[in-house]
Amino acid sequence: MGPDVAVHRGHGQPVHLSCTAAIFSIAHTVLGYTSFAVALACGLSLHYRRIVKNHIAGYPDEWWPSVSATIGDWFPERNVFQILCAATSGFRFVMIALLGILAYRYGRSLGGFSLAITGVLRTIACGSWIFITSSDHALTHDVGMGAYLALTPLWMALCLTQLRPPSTSPFVPWHARAQWMRCMAAILFYACTPFMLHFYLRHRRDRIPGMYTYYSMLEWSLVLLDVLFDAASAWDLQALSVHVMDVPCPAAPQAPPTPTRTSPAIVWGWVVTQVFLAWTAWSAFFALIPMIFYFSVSNMAAEGLELFVLTPSVCLAIVSFTPLQRCFQSETPASIRHVHPWCAGLLWMASLATVASYVIPSPVARLCVNAASCGILAVLSAVDWSHAWEAAQIHETAAVWLVGLVAALVSRYANHANIPIWAILDASNGGWHIAALVLAMVCLFPLFVPSLCQYPAVHVRRTAALAPSWRHFVLAASALGVWLCEIQTFLSDAGTVISYGWTGYPVQGPMAVLHGVWVIGTMALSTAVTLKAPRLGASYKVMTLHVMGVYLLLRFDNWPSFVGGLLVALTLPMMLTPLLQSALSHHPLRIMSMAWFVLALLAFLGVLTTAYAFLPGAYIMREHTGLLTGVQTILLLFGVASSRSAPEAQRLVPSLGARARAVYSAVYTLLMLLVLLASIVPFVRRLPPAAIQPYHPNDRIVTAGIWTVHFGFDQHMRDSSRRMSRVLKELQLDIIGLLESDLNRPAFGNRDLTQWLAQELQMYADLGPSPKKHTWGATLLSKFPIINSTHHLLPSPHGELAPAIHAVLDMYGVPTHVIVSHNGQEEDPLDRELQTTEIARLLREAYPHPALFLGYVVTKPHAPRPNPYEILFRDGRLHDVDATDMDRWCQYLGFRGLHRLGYARVSRYTVTDTEIQTFKLQMPAEASARDPDHDARPRSLPLGMMPVADWAYPLSLVQPGVRINETHRYAPYVLPLYYDVPEAAAPDPPH
């Protein structure tokens, strides 16, 4: 191996220099080793005792310097090292570029691009910790070091996998030598890592003198092995040569060639812009049903706005059965063409009205705008998919839309389960509308520039190609509608399939924030596979895996259920391409109209499985999610199986050529970036247990409350999680029960209130029972550790199912039982009686342990049996928070074994139409003071007598001159109530 440098001089030929590209790798290796060697020599000779000293010990306990101390702290070694590294960087950048070119030459365009990008980023990260030392700016130095170490495994993996020459290449032996050196360097590199970590912990945590020396020696070993790994590239670069020669000036300057329509850069830009537009489309589709159901919940009945769910289907039908079809129909009968790119751009621009509608204050107007946008997007998607079908590129277009779907999941995963461009958001509660609109305008630009527009121009549709069978039409449309429904039901949020198996504490399964990236990664993998193997989604193996996934998801809990969810995430995206290939053999606008109608019907039936009390006759769907999903799965599998035998299936083959390679490269890169972004979210949103502490631990105070939040919508049809967190934080609630809070279903947008509230309020969260249990849900948020929690379905023979959470909290070292429940409505007295009897049994069996009840009971105070009041407090052996408060109907608070200090009710305002009820209690330190049968503080202090203590209710909610619907305030009492022992035996109040 050598540079192979030669000078050629011939008669009549320009003088030139040629050499193998290996010289850049050799120069990089020599300069790299020299820079570290010179710095080490200078440091050892000039500042030995200073560079071996650390914050724990010095010489003679520590006798070998670390890399950072050697190269970053003293003159002249720091300056000499940085000068030599600057000289090394030029050779390194050229070496990285040549390695990327080499991989591209071997037919690995994506691998070459990834190799080059990773190498450049890694070099920049290296420079950020070499040239910015810890003494200059510790955070920047550490971030640069962390980025460098994080990119190192990816760099090594790409070098080991992307530089292999073809088997017929004469450079195979050279590559084998390079691989041997790389493997040895990588193995030794990672073999040193655990020992290095061990000695660092012994130094940092155990503070043992001398341990940092061993750590430093291993650190130097990593430096040597890192440079050695890159030195192996000299063998690979023997396959390239560099020539320097004199070039005569041309007679006349030539204009640079204009990029062609198949230029990789143009294709890349086209794919990125189409993915962004697909993201806006999925966001609009996912928002339509929850915006509709908001009015059903507010009105407690169906009043006609529910018909907006048919907007996509109706718009497609109008276009396909009216003269409007001429705008999209080509000269060939039933062949759908793209409108002029300008018209397409204007339609896409009109569809962005759903993003801009967040500024509209009226909920009805926002719903109308979003429905209209969904109608436009349904037409655009049908035309887009149809045109791709005709050009035999349906798998590419389907992959682009699936990447947009993955992007929708990543955006809401990073935004606490809300897609940031929904019209139910604004700048105050997680909206990114302005930025999204600006980016959307940029993404629309290629539609208005002919040289950038990449709509395929080839049409292969013929009348004879249309499938004549109406049975096939119905089956294909039904299967595609089921696919759209299951995507929205299971895969419109990364946490939905996790919530299906959640059973509470102790945690025995996945968690939404921590493991949501698994769902995103699985969908990304499925998208990548379907692009490369478009027929795989119609295979019997995939269909079998899908059935297994649905069964595990609905039948089991915890990890088995999550495995089922991952199988659904793996198989469902794969099925899109064969389903579209089969369906679009018919009239595309009409079959897509039918598919959207099937989605609307299934979504409506899915709502009725839980909301069967809303409409007459809906009882037939009560708790039949399993049956409905089974029918959907059968229709889906029949449709997929039918696509196998259709003549059009033969056209499902991977594309070839430069344009196809550019599309594949863009899709794969975008998927990798999305998964990488998703993998960062759990670290950013991690909430360490040490950060979860009650507000007043010194006084052993517990502030608890109950609130019915009506599915996270405020009275203006905005997501209410941010507004909820502000008032809950102001009240300093240690425990809060939230009712009507299960949003993991399409009717509520598959959202999750607990993701924002738990992180913002720094609380443990338990949500239950799961969405497959057909309840409106209950949530427990606690600043005390949850020892155990059980989810209950309370007896409900007539009305809707009632949820309850029975948890045991570690409350200042005392196991305390807490029940959060939502009983049935006034229309079902037997249900309420049986449900309250079950709650009383749970509380009675927990006796004499301290207990709290936070629930929705629906009864008048002191109402005799069979009303729930006496059953709850007498049979459950609880004390009412204030038996004299006769102005209650739904929400009640109870306690035993704690000392009652205060009670306050906070008016509803516009966050929801239900007030917050709270009480303050004190957990006695002595067991003898925790008498479960007696209220230790029965005396109500006069209104306005407030303790002078940090734990007292905030005065900011005392607003006598403000009506209860104008802001949050204490109501019906202007001030909170406080309690004390009888005057004859009153001790000092707690401080």
The span from the CA of 396 to the CA of 274, in Å, is 11
Helix axes 558-583, 512-532, angle to 10 degrees: 30
- Looking at 141, 338, 587, 822, which residue is catalytic? 822
The encoded tokens of residue 318 equal 């109008």
- Residue 552 DSSP class: H
- For residue 851, give the nearest of 787, 923, 785, 793 by alpha carbon: 923
Find, among 886, 919, 885, the residue nearest to 900 by Cα: 919
Pairing of strands 786-794, 802-811: antiparallel
Q: How many CB atoms lie within 10 A of CB 625?
A: 19
Spatial CB neighbours of 124, under 8 Å, sequence gap ≥ 6: none
- Reduce the secondary structure of 557-618 to three states and give it as a string: CHHHHHHHHHHHHHHHHHHHHHHHHHHCCCCHHHHHHHHHHHHHHHHHHHHHCCCCCCCCCH
Taking every pair of Cα atoms in the chain, the longest distance, rounded to a whole number of angstroms, is 121
Residue reference for tokens 């967040």: 358
User: H/E element holding 778?
Assistant: strand 778-782
What's the CA gap between 265 and 258, in Å, rounded?
12
Q: Tell which residue, 454, 452, 442, 444, has the closest CA to residue 258.
A: 452
Spacing of C-alpha 547 from chain mean position: 25
Q: Are 976 and 722 in contact (CB under 8 A)?
A: no
How far is the first Cα of the chain from the last one, in angstroms, to the nearest whole number? 81
Q: Which residues have C-beta within 8 Å of that of residue 435, sequence separation ≥ 6?
A: none
Note if 55 is an active site residue. Answer: no
Question: Which candidate, 404, 348, 397, places its Cα nearest to that of 373?
Answer: 348
| Structural tokens at position 422 | 């929904």
Distance CA 100, CA 985 (A): 84
Contact (CB, 8 A) for 648 and 585: yes
At 945, list the tokens: 């007598």
744 vs 417: CA distance, rounded Å = 10
Catalytic site positions: 822
